[in-house]
Structure 1
């Protein structure tokens, strides 16, 4: 009897708290922007709309909001913490190890860490130069737009707000290297020693010239039953396909070659995108084992030539883990969804002092879903990678950092490994 009374009292308190919270929230909510004419509103008096995760804005409302609104208020995602100890010359990317067991085809999503939406590291200048050379060579295969959809004006809005979110993030996260003047619409990149005008320029090119990551914007198209269409972006880190081949296609067609996508993920992917809110950005990672550091390669004879043979001359030091670390978030004004990823390369020999990683990767490569492993194209390096992983696992058993016969499963520290931060900091000198 006493227990039931206590439970009833507790439930009463919870209900009362929820009601009070609702009343406070609704009273404090800002008034939505009315449908007004396009006027120039001073910065201090500019009305900031409420953070409606799936709110639809009109062109007039977006014009009234103006350039560089508070994206933290619009999205519900806090701004990044300034990273004052960051040193671009020594910075290493965090050691993402997105391996899973049991291994099957899923989206494998986790909540985005706002501080790490865009992650710079010591290859910054080299990678930007490499990407610029690829753009000059391949042009529309790298950057393009598709506007043949309903409400095509949203495509340009999406490109502009992406650019604004990117340069704002850089200036807040790395203030020692970037400076943003929102009044005069100027962005300074002190690493490159360059000044970027942000008015009257192509926003995608501004992003491309400052961030060595790929971006793809997708939007629902009522002309295609509300399915999400790839409408704009820059893809400079893909192996096996290019932007020109995918632009204008719906998600299902883009991922048609992915094993089990249609059966297991097709409908759920469009459903997930339709429900994704601005305050729930996510992250995930995909991986591959490659030779060297191939950044960009179209499908065709060159790729098949590499993946179609097991070269007996490959050495252990030639093998690299490629991780494509990805994030996904809703853009607040256009309603588009932006997908971005960075290609990170790590010598496979690094696994030697990463507890449990060799055993996990060996398990996945040897026993994982053969359709998925085949799609990755790992076969062409298995003759070197598998013996290497087996040896590193044995060495970890001998050193006592891994137990013989231990069940192999996704690491508790995923997407990292036990002790990763100590090693990561040591490699950067702090």
Structure 2
């Protein structure tokens, strides 16, 4: 079953899962602006917990409770990795983010919600502690690619977990036009090379017509999504995915975490508009058009000129 979208925002208000400004703007960094854009991540900064925490976690709790078959998926090959992931996440958020133990097998989140650590499968419980969607990848012996073996995906950006679970990296990324070929080889080398205790991160971004954070889409509908972006008005919403990659030491599985940040276009700073304009101008025309339609492209150029 596919869930309904998160409740829409009232016109002129900021929904509880969004932020008024963009703390991560990939187009403002030369290293982040073009895929894969990978760089080291301080282990202490694994999770970005901000003022949108309570709003996003309420939506995650709802999806896990009402749509468990949609929100998370498992394979037998991913069970040990998911258990290790939950153990690792729980220890980290207690140490770094002030989560409080409540008995031996429960934690109190910053929003005051109690999460029992044994009530649900480990992948689902881990996803109820942090804002990141959590996707576990493993490379079977003799296989050419990593495979998605377990995951919780509450805030998909135009894809569904059911179409990707159990699939290798190349198949997961279809139908992204730029992925097959050199980019696919670079991403696989990246997954092979990540080491325990040395996490990495990158960021992805696009603009959307509204602030909705639950945006599933089947692969066959991807071309419609690209067409809709061309029609976006100036009053669009920036959606950034802060993506972290970490290898678990015992199972050697690789975690791909996706922290979604939603910000109105009006929340971009003059410097961010200037950087956005420069990045779009440097991209191939077709790729730039998929990122920014004519109205937003014109606004970026205008805002950049004003910023000086």
TM-score range, shorter chain: 0.7 to 0.9
The higher radius of gyration belongs to 1
1:386 is the counterpart of 2:297: yes
Name the CA shift for 1:389/1:104 in 2 (closer, same or farther; >3 Å): closer
Q: Give the corresponding residue for 1:274.
A: 192
Q: Distance in 2 between matches of 1:300 and 1:264?
A: 22
Name the CA shift for 1:93/1:277 in 2 (closer, same or farther; >3 Å): farther
Name the CA shift for 1:92/1:320 in 2 (closer, same or farther; >3 Å): closer
Name the CA shift for 1:102/1:343 in 2 (closer, same or farther; >3 Å): closer
> 1:229-280, CA deviations, whole angstroms, 9 ceiling, x for partnerless residues?
1000111222221111000011111123222322212223223322321032
Q: Give the corresponding residue for 1:213.
A: 132
Q: Structure 1, unaligned stretches of length 5 or more?
A: 1-90, 398-430
SS of the residue corresponding to residue 308 of structure 1 reads helix
SS of the residue corresponding to residue 262 of structure 1 reads coil
Q: Structure 2, unaligned stretches of length 5 or more?
A: 1-18
C-alpha contact 1:281 1:328 (8 A) present in aligned 2: yes
C-alpha contact 1:285 1:324 (8 A) present in aligned 2: yes
Q: Give the corresponding residue for 1:197.
A: 116
C-alpha contact 2:31 2:38 (8 A) present in aligned 1: no
Q: Select which of 277, 288, 291 maps to 1:362.
A: 277
Per mean C-alpha deviation after superposition, the further-off stretch among 330-339 and 225-234 is: 225-234
1:107 is the counterpart of 2:36: yes
Q: Give the corresponding residue for 1:157.
A: 80
Q: Give the corresponding residue for 1:292.
A: 210
Q: Give the corresponding residue for 1:262.
A: 180
After TM superposition, give the deviation of residue 343 of structure 1 in Å: 0.8
After TM superposition, give the deviation of residue 104 of structure 1 in Å: 8.3
Q: Select which of 243, 252, 265 maps to 2:161.
A: 243
After TM superposition, give the deviation of residue 308 of structure 1 in Å: 2.8
C-alpha contact 1:101 1:360 (8 A) present in aligned 2: no
C-alpha contact 1:240 1:299 (8 A) present in aligned 2: yes
> 1:18-43, CA deviations, whole angstroms, 9 ceiling, x for partnerless residues?
xxxxxxxxxxxxxxxxxxxxxxxxxx
After TM superposition, give the deviation of residue 200 of structure 1 in Å: 6.4
Q: Distance in 1 between matches of 2:204 and 2:116?
A: 35
Q: Give the corresponding residue for 1:130.
A: 59
Q: Distance in 1 between matches of 2:225 and 2:52?
A: 25
Name the CA shift for 1:362/1:167 in 2 (closer, same or farther; >3 Å): same
Name the CA shift for 1:310/1:205 in 2 (closer, same or farther; >3 Å): closer
Name the CA shift for 1:219/1:387 in 2 (closer, same or farther; >3 Å): same
Name the CA shift for 1:368/1:122 in 2 (closer, same or farther; >3 Å): same
After TM superposition, give the deviation of residue 221 of structure 1 in Å: 0.8
Counterparts of 1:160-171 in structure 2, within 5 Å, are 160-171=83-94
The alignment's C-alpha RMSD in Å is 3.2
Q: Distance in 2 between matches of 1:326 and 1:211?
A: 13
After TM superposition, give the deviation of residue 137 of structure 1 in Å: 5.8
C-alpha contact 2:200 2:246 (8 A) present in aligned 1: yes
> 1:93-129, CA deviations, whole angstroms, 9 ceiling, x for partnerless residues?
8711112669985321111022221111222222122
1:98 is the counterpart of 2:98: no
Counterparts of 1:58-73 in structure 2, within 5 Å, are none
> 1:331-382, CA deviations, whole angstroms, 9 ceiling, x for partnerless residues?
01111000101111222223343x3x323312333441245345xx435xx2
C-alpha contact 1:297 1:303 (8 A) present in aligned 2: no
Q: TM-score when scaled to structure 2? A: 0.82
Q: Distance in 1 between matches of 2:252 and 2:198?
A: 14
Counterparts of 1:265-414 in structure 2, within 5 Å, are 265-295=183-213, 296-299=215-218, 307-309=226-228, 315-316=233-234, 318-353=235-270, 355=271, 357-373=272-288, 377-378=290-291, 382-397=293-308
SS of the residue corresponding to residue 261 of structure 1 reads coil
